[in-house]
Structure 1
């Protein structure tokens, strides 16, 4: 997951390939809307507008775009993998070559606390998609606050509508498959998926 702010910004391309992580910097929305900024932030403001323009053609995002279907069979379910669970096929009776989908449900996964499984990011799931959409909403909302161009808020409304409201693309209102622990016993999400 990526976090940026007006003061510690990272370009959308870094977010999309999960290359950088920055600290949160929570800013009072009233401060943003007051537009009472120091002239020392002019370059940051221009950067925000450039990034908002860059992401404007990337969306809309939806849970339907993932290449893997949750065990429910419904792509409308938000799905992400538990990052500290690693594949261990050493005990699986795999006399034949297994597809990735078979591996995810047949081979056990073992916990390696504090060791992040890089496989989590190579598989298409919703955590990166939602992060990209969130970044686009942040940049576009800030760009609108900076220059008042309504095309930014029109994009924000379209992206939110696509993710949460349109019947063909909406996310089901649960996180039942968030941070799934894959393997024979892990085809549902975990409580940490809410985080």
Structure 2
């Protein structure tokens, strides 16, 4: 019989989680060009500790990216339990967009070195999509979001608003104004989608 794989020690799991949290902060503040040495210094560990968990910088970036999405999915599930579905939906949308520049920077850095970010985060993206669908359904049932808004529309709006937030990273008022426009457009009575075909 093949022996079962050994489970990582609790302290190793904690160390890995701490490294990922610190790495996200370092990359968020200094950009993805920050070195693994800077991550090690910020975490208060030797560079060897970082490389034991993440043999390359690319593997560290990928792990940070996936962990970032995992955190978003966890927050989405928490919002699903909020007493006001409409407020929860809007708060989550703002939450996602506010952290978009960091996520986009990680995704762009990974893509630049040939990492397939879609494949690397496939499982957690499925969890996130399920939680997002529940948030949308609850908000629509509560009359807070227009009924003709589907998941593809919502995902497109999240992507667009996230790119807008990245573009307006230095303009907080402009970013908030743009978010208000997007969220107002999702309210009931904001109009209906008009589909036209060119002859």
Q: TM-score, normalised by structure 1?
A: 0.31
Q: Which has the higher contact order (CA 8 A, sep 6+)?
A: 1
Query: With structure 2 as the length reference, what TM-score do the two structures score?
Result: 0.31
